[in-house]
Chain A
């Protein structure tokens, strides 16, 4: 890390970076766990992802496909979480232009999810 970075800016980059790293590892661990469960219960069960509305019920039923789907969704959620962390940091820094940029981006992403769910 270069020494020219102000502490609050360093915190922003550090927290966004660790959010990306943490989300990646969490999703990979869940995916591997799902694969191990699938190997025990039969790999033919995992040819399709679980629909969003069914994941919780399928997880409770111990289905490997739901665990794999959860891993994929955690991977999808990680960049979104990193944008949220960036917004929190910009609010702390009172960086008004980029608070607006981040809020608009989050709205765009939420609209994108809504369109995909239709």
Chain B
């Protein structure tokens, strides 16, 4: 990589971090196709760079959400029992399967993400109120957080814990295989299946993805030859970190729907570009 390539990778990550922080999505969906398209990076090397950046994103956001007691540590650790091993499996699969197959899976995830962003997160389950006659197991998975916008303490009870753990393994698999956060699966699982309030679901997802991505990232690091290229992974990591830190302040004046429209269009274009790669058309 040249110094110019490193700078381009940094700028791509800066934009991904900024957009991601405002729209509440991971940067991997933007970073990986950008690195392959503009820098001609190998897909698996781009995935490895992204998964390192995902850990930094999780640590940067997760530390704040945990200290504010919005992310639910216990729920996160419980779901990580499923996401961590499936991320390792996903990463092992990614390092062994053909790049075109990987591009096909990535195109599918990009298309689903674009569709979900286009729709917005309209379906949001209401928190389930606590009852006096809860079974013992469910009573272990209760939580509460302080909603700053209303000044109220919101109490909730986590439901369908075994189903939630099972479904979370899909998020781990996607994260390990594609180097993304997996929030596209993890947040709906917590919100719609487990009745966790959307704010707790998104923040807990941010906390979990660090544990999940770390499990998968080690596979990319130790692969011979290693897929982790420091000249790519570190500028991407630092770029995402800075972008996420300043994104809401810099992009805060632009309407969220306008940003969402632009980002959705970019992700949709990337989905088509990835699909073309499956058929041997385009870069990489």
Contact = CB atoms under 8 A, between A and B. Distances in A.
Chain A: number of interface residues, binned into ranges: 35 or more
A28 B25 CA distance: 22
A46 to B, nearest CB: 5
A16 B66 contact: yes
Chain B binding surface, main DSSP class:
helix
Interface string A30-41: 011011000000
B107 interface: no
A76 B60 CA distance: 13
Interface in B72-124: 73-74, 77-78, 80-81, 84-85, 87-88, 91-92
A31 B238 contact: yes
A9 B230 CA distance: 38
Given A20-B66, A79-B58, A72 B234 contact: yes
Interface in A54-84: 65, 68-69, 71-73, 75-76, 78-80, 82-83
B146 to A, nearest CB: 3
Chain A binding surface, main DSSP class:
helix
Contacts of A75: 52, 55-56, 59, 237
A69 B59 contact: no
Contacts of A69: 230
Interface residues of B, number: 53
B32 interface: no
B3 A109 contact: no
B67 A14 contact: yes
B69 A98 contact: no
A76 B88 contact: no
Interface of A: 1-2, 4-5, 10, 12-14, 16-18, 20-21, 23-24, 27-28, 31-32, 34-35, 43, 46-49, 51-52, 65, 68-69, 71-73, 75-76, 78-80, 82-83, 86, 97-98, 101-102, 104-105, 108-109, 111-113, 115-117
Given A1-B67, A23-B59, A72-B233, 12 more contacts: A1-B69, A1-B146, A2-B145, A24-B60, A46-B230, A48-B229, A71-B234, A75-B55, A79-B214, A83-B77, A98-B77, A109-B84
